[in-house]
Every structure is written in structure tokens, then in C-alpha cells.
Amino acid sequence: MAGLAACSTGKPGPILSVDAARLRAVTAACPVTGLETLSLDAAVGRVTAGSTTAASALPPFDNSAMDGYALCMSDLAGDGPWRLPVSARITAGDGRALTLSAGSVARIFTGAPVPLGADAVVMQEHVTRSGNMITVSRPPRCGQNIRRRGEDVAQGALALGAGRALTPQRLALLAGCGVASVAVRARVRVAILSTGNELAEPGQPRGPGQIYNSNRVLLRATLSRLPWVDLADLGILPDDPGSIRGAIRLAAKSNDVIISSGGVSAGEEDHILDALRAEAAELDVLKVAIRPGKPLTVGRLGQALYFGLPGNPYAAAITLSQIARPALNRVAGLTEGTDAWLPAVAGFTYSRRTGRREYVPVTWSGRDPLGRPIIARLGQGASASLSPIAQAMGIAVIPQDMDVVRPGQPLSVEPLSESALF
């Protein structure tokens, strides 16, 4: 595993910047090697394994962009208006190979093949028709209203590259090029688990000293939205080193990625690190200059990439999106970024301790003259709080060394609605 040797003993190394930690996580990730060929319907959201060339040109033949009349521009010589006879009628789906008779026009409909000899289509609103004759009052430009064969994608040209998520738009492109099935990467097998004696599942009796498990549904709901994830939920593990060791050893045998929450900070009841060390995992990232989420473990256990997220729910959500997700994308074989950050301006004052990049839940109701959202901060930054992130329209990022945020301060914000993750 690239980049892990220096820290393979798992001793806490220096605190890493968010970018450095993300890079190490991404570098440690290897794309899954399995492939499958799926119909377009079955491939939605999956990741292309190779590039696809157009089986058919798009469009496959010259066709009309308007309901109107196909004509030859040389028949519109001199000053108009021009009177011409209608010699043919061509509808969409007409399979005849027609040639336009000299000195005439063809009635034509949107999507119908343009006859040989025609070099423009005049839309019907720009002519008057009387019986079998039309009068053209506004001549088209040469080539106007003709969609040329292959102008969108030429036959045999690259329709879609490798490492792309198959969005509805890209599936439509492949369909338009006559491609019926596509080779995609195998799903990424991800196992999730929550640790902590204090956890009870909602709907179950909650004992004294227990809290309800919010990270399990957070991870499950987030990851199950990714069509290229094959999720295994290992439930709650008690704070017992033996159980944790056994569960992660087993999970590493049949998963590409393991994501746990809790048990990664300094206390002797935080057993994830000990369990990983006992299983001879290679450990890399152990501390990140991020708020929330400083105690974070990234490593490899056998063939599986391991993410030990902090237990506090907001810290788990942020480390999942900022560190684990980019690495997961690489395991999935994605080669394109999912960077959805937008410019915004602060509408609040916040004096803060420097040294960690901070992710702040925000909302907005207005925009500045440049169209940037003016953001309001939600909550007090507690990494155990769930209401701020539940109300948030986005997450703003405060740079590591900024000691005070004042109104008007430009900040980046990731809108939650457009985020690839939340």
C-alpha cells in the first residue's frame, strides 16, 4: 500500500492537513478489478470500465430541425418573395432515399430525413402555402435547420470515456449512439460497523447510559445512495477487543472497504486502533487537522481499505465526505472529480482557534450582488450535534489558519442538495 510504510507501526505521526490526509487515503485506494457488462437500464450510476465508441453516428442521417420545407438555396436567387411548388412530403421515420426535384420544395417534419439536393429547411412560420405552392417570405441561411449526420458524435468516435459515472444524461448519449450495453466496474463491497457499549438501536429499549445509534443509519443511508456500492452492515460491536478483532478480520476477507465509527481516539476503551494493530494492519492517517473529526484512522487490513471514523456523528459525517469518499471513488474506478464547492460569503462573525480546517453547517436566504449565497452559521460547532447538519443547506469550509470570520468574508460552501455524498 503506497504511502503507508512510514507509519505502519500505527504510532501517531504528525497531524496531517486535510489535503494531505485525503491524498494519502486516495493513494492507498486501488480500483476494483472486476468487470460486468450491463444493459443501459441496469447500469445507471455505475462506473464505466473502458471507453465506448459510437456504434452509430448521432444523428445517424441529415434531418430536419423544424416542421417546414426543405429547399435548395440556389432556387431562392434574386429578390423574394419566392414561389415554389411542393413536390414531396417527408415525415419522421420515412425510409425512402429521396432526391429533391429541381426547382421545388419538400414538405418536411422535425426529425425527417432531408432529401438529397436540399441544403436548408425554411420553418413553416416563414412561408405561406396555397394549394401546392408555397411563398417564402423570409429565406433561411444555407444549412439552416438541418441537423447534420454525426454533428453530435461521429460514427466510431469516443462517446464516453472510462472512469465515468453513468448519469441519466450519459446513458441517453450512449443510447443515441446505438450502444445497448456497457462494461462497468464491479461494485465496491463496503462493510460498515458501529462500535460502542453505549449504543442502542432506535426502536429497541435503551438502557441507562445508552444513546441511540445515529451513525449506522447515516453511513447506511449515505452509502446506499451510491449505485456502485454493495453494502454489508455488520451492526453494532461492543467495546470488546476480541469481538472487534474477529469482526474486522472476517470483514477484510470479503470486502474492498471497511468503515467503522467510534473507538479511534485516545482512551483505553477506544479499541479500533488496538484491534487493527493486533491484526497487523498497515496504518497511515491517524490524526487530521480537521474540525470536526481529528481522530481518524486510515489504513489497510489485508486487501481491504480501512476507515475508522470518529464516533461523534457530525465528525463521522465530515470525515466520511472529506476523506473517505474521495478514496471510495477511486476504489470504484471513478476518474473524474466530484468537486461541488461554490463561492459564498459569510453573514456571521466567528472567532476561532486556528490549526484545523473547519467544516461548518450553514444556511442561506439571500445572495450578494455577485450572486453568492450569504451564509448563516448553524449550531455551535459541537461534533456530537445533529440538528445543525439536519437543518443545513450546505457545509462551509473555514481555512485552517483563519482566526476570525467576519461578515463579507468569502468562503467555499458545498450545497448539500448537490453534494455527491450527503
Ligand X SMILES: Nc1nc2c(c(=O)[nH]1)N[C@H]1C(S)=C(S)[C@@H](COP(=O)(O)OP(=O)(O)OC[C@H]3O[C@@H](n4cnc5c(N)ncnc54)[C@H](O)[C@@H]3O)O[C@H]1N2
Stretch that binds ligand MOO, among 21-29, 61-69, 236-244, 310-318 (CB under 6 A): 310-318
Q: What is the gyration radius of the CA atoms in the chain, in angstroms? A: 30
- Using CB under 6 A as the binding rule, whether residue 192 contacts ligand X is answered as no
Q: Determine which residue in the list 48, 222, 255, 261 makes contact with ligand X, applying CB under 6 A.
A: 261
- Using CB under 6 A as the binding rule, whether residue 185 contacts ligand MOO is answered as no
Q: Determine which residue in the list 185, 291, 325, 357 makes contact with ligand MOO, applying CB under 6 A.
A: 291
What is the DSSP track for 95-130? ----BPPTT-EEEE-TTPBPPBT--EEEEGGGEEEE
**Rounded to whole angstroms, how far apart are CA atoms 304 and 283?**
12
- Using CB under 6 A as the binding rule, whether residue 383 contacts ligand MOO is answered as yes
Picked from ligand MOO, ligand X, none, the partner binding residue 373 (CB below 5 to 8 A depending on kind) is none
Stretch that binds ligand X, among 64-72, 305-313, 351-359, 388-396 (CB under 6 A): 305-313
The 373-402 contact track toward ligand X, x by CB under 6 A, reads ----------xx------------------
Parallel, antiparallel, or unpaired for β 146-147 and 199-200?
Answer: unpaired
Torsion from C-alpha of 253, 259, 260, 264, nearest 10 degrees: 100
Residues 6+ apart with CB under 8 A from 6: 13
Dihedral sign from CA coordinates of 212, 213, 218, 220: negative
Residue linked to cell 490526509: 21
Q: Which is nearer to ligand X, 383 or 409 (CB)?
A: 383
Q: Determine which residue in the list 52, 64, 145, 265 makes contact with ligand X, applying CB under 6 A.
A: 265
Q: Which is nearer to ligand X, 143 or 202 (CB)?
A: 202
* Helices (H), ranges, 93-188: 168-176
Q: Determine which residue in the list 229, 315, 317, 405 makes contact with ligand MOO, applying CB under 6 A.
A: 315
Q: Which is nearer to ligand X, 290 or 332 (CB)?
A: 290
**Rounded to whole angstroms, how far apart are CA atoms 222 and 259?**
12
172 C-beta neighbours (distance < 10 Å), count:
11
- Using CB under 6 A as the binding rule, whether residue 294 contacts ligand MOO is answered as yes
Parallel, antiparallel, or unpaired for β 297-301 and 282-283?
Answer: antiparallel
- Using CB under 6 A as the binding rule, whether residue 196 contacts ligand X is answered as yes
**Rounded to whole angstroms, how far apart are CA atoms 206 and 197?**
11
Cell digits of residue 210: 445508552
- Using CB under 6 A as the binding rule, whether residue 322 contacts ligand MOO is answered as no
- Using CB under 6 A as the binding rule, whether residue 164 contacts ligand MOO is answered as no
Per rule CB under 6 A, count of chain residues that contact ligand MOO:
8
Where on the chain is the footprint of ligand MOO (CB under 6 A)? 291-294, 310, 312, 315, 383
